[in-house]
Amino acid sequence: MSFFPASLEALIDKFASLPGIGRKSAQRLAFHVLSLPEEEARSFADAIIEAKTSVHCCKICQNLTEGEICSICASDRRDQSTICVVSEPRDVLSIERGREYNGTYHVLHGVLSPMSHVGPDDIRIKELLQRVADNDVEEVIMATNPDTEGEATAMYISRLLKPFQIKVTRLAYGIPVGSNLEFADDATLNRAIEGRTEM
Amino acid sequence: MSFFPASLEALIDKFASLPGIGRKSAQRLAFHVLSLPEEEARSFADAIIEAKTSVHCCKICQNLTEGEICSICASDRRDQSTICVVSEPRDVLSIERGREYNGTYHVLHGVLSPMSHVGPDDIRIKELLQRVADNDVEEVIMATNPDTEGEATAMYISRLLKPFQIKVTRLAYGIPVGSNLEFADDATLNRAIEGRTEM
């Protein structure tokens, strides 16, 4: 049962298919787009086409880029012998924000997840192994999320990297800076005690 | 400071310009669009253009439609002598969902709001007055939202309708069906007592 014109319904459907957008929000977004001036609506549509056609994965690190190789892989100011393995392109942004890390990245585009039928061939593990085999890599830092799937993925990849006899490390666990012990969960607190450092 | 390709940033900006979508959500939506197959991304863009170009306002009631006149105004099974005035197209949907109302609508596309510089000429009041003047209208039901701006708008329009000597009514205030007196606010409860009906 619908009282909206078909093309409006179609647009609402499109918005509702996005992650985290329910039917009501989709309606609001569609109405907003309809209320835009013609050229702005058109430029929204163009932005989708443009991003979809010009953005692809860096040949080396699989991060999103418009060129053949991303700016980090192309930079001679970055330490090309260190690779930080993350699951999503947005994780690169998170680490870059810290302005401390000076190596390169490898974006897996997912994590192993038997529940969602994501196996080793569905994420960019082959490309990482090839990269380690072909280049002079000294250290691989596993920076997948500290959840079950991220852990399993890090563990799986670190085993595959064993034969290369390079240093494979994992991000440190512990209490977040600026947080409060009272609100730290048991698992985190235990890991923070295990990983304690000398002052 | 951005680590995303320019066209991806542009798409994120577009999503972030939508109401209720923050920077983080916009990123998630843009990444989702990038992960879609080419033809689906294209059909999303097409849906925006299609809705924007083919949807416009019904000549009579100003509701959104693809034809010249919407299906409700064109229907001979609807009571054309009763007009329910709402502020937004989605309000038509809300009332239609009840399946009780059999009259027509008039969509104002906004409410009077001095704070946001929305005056009588910015919403479809002229069109309503013209419609009442030209047709055999018996009743106008003011169904704007029960908030300050909706009230003011209903009051303003009802004054303009006075000279036509037709029945002008307002939606009843009271406690919502299925709710709990304990959680009803004072204003609503007072209105419910004022408007009490005989059993």
Which CATH number do you get for residue B28? Answer: 1.10.8.420
Please give the mean pLDDT across all residues of chain B: 90
pLDDT tens string B71-90: 999 999 999 999 999 999 88
Q: What's the average model confidence in pLDDT over A90-96?
A: 87
Contact at 8 Å (CB) between B108 and B124?
Answer: yes
Q: Are B113 and B15 part of one and the same domain?
A: no
Q: Are residues B34 and B88 in the same domain?
A: no
Q: Is B19–A32 a contact, with Cβ atoms under 8 angstroms apart? A: yes
Task: Give the pLDDT confidence score for residue A1 in this predicted structure.
Answer: 45
Q: Which pLDDT tens digit goes with each residue over A7-21?
A: 999 999 999 999 999
What residue in A sits closest to B67 (Cα-Cα)?
A5
Mean pLDDT within B38-57? 92
CB contact (8 A) between residue B54 and residue A4: no
ipTM > 0.85, yes or no: no
8 Å CB contact between A122 and A110: yes
Is the same domain home to A100 and A153?
A: yes
Task: Tell whether A65 is covered by a domain.
Answer: no
Domain annotation covers residue A101: yes
Instruction: State percent of chain A over pLDDT 90.
Output: 66
Q: Are residues A85 and A11 in the same domain?
A: no
Residue A184 lies in a domain: yes
Q: Is residue A67 part of a domain?
A: no
Mean pLDDT of B131-156: 92
- Asked if A31 lies within 8 A of B90 by C-beta distance, the reply is yes
pLDDT at B26: 94
Q: Is residue B61 part of a domain?
A: no
pLDDT of the residue at B177? 80
Distance (Å) from the C-alpha of residue B67 to the closest C-alpha of chain A? 9
pLDDT confidence of residue B1: 44
Q: Do A25 and A102 share a structural domain?
A: no
Q: How far is A176 from chain B (nearest CA, A)?
A: 21
The pLDDT value recorded for residue B2 is 60
Relative to beta strand A139-142, strand B139-142 is unpaired
**Which residues of chain B lie closer than 8 angstroms to A41, CB-CB?**
48-49, 52
Q: For residue B94, give the 3-state DSSP assignment.
A: helix
- Clarify whether residues A105 and A174 are in a common domain: yes
Provide the number of structural domains found in chain B.
2
Same domain, B97 and B33: no
Structural domain contains residue B131: yes
Beta strands in chain A (DSSP E): 56-57, 64-65, 79-86, 103-107, 139-142, 167-170
Query: Does B68 reside within a domain?
Result: no
Looking at the structure, do residues A28 and A96 belong to the same domain, yes or no? no
Q: Judge whether A199 lies within some domain.
A: no
A16-19: list long-range contacts, CB under 8 Å, 24+ apart.
Answer: A18/B29, A18/B32, A18/B33, A19/B28, A19/B29, A19/B32
- Same domain for A48 and A104, yes or no, is no
The number of angstroms, rounded, from the C-alpha of B113 to the middle of its chain's C-alpha atoms is: 15
* A28-48: average pLDDT: 92
Q: Which domain CATH number covers B139?
A: 3.40.1360.10
Q: Is the dihedral of CA A96, A18, B94, B54 positive or negative?
A: positive
d(CA A107, CA A138): 18
Q: Domain range spanning residue B10?
A: 6-54
| Predicted confidence (pLDDT) at residue B61 exceeds the cutoff of 90 | yes
The token pair at B77 is 């099974």
Which residues are bridge partners to A104 per DSSP? Answer: A83
On whether both B46 and B80 belong to a single domain, the answer is no
Residues B122 and B40 occupy one common structural domain: no
Whether B97 and B161 map to the same domain: the answer is yes
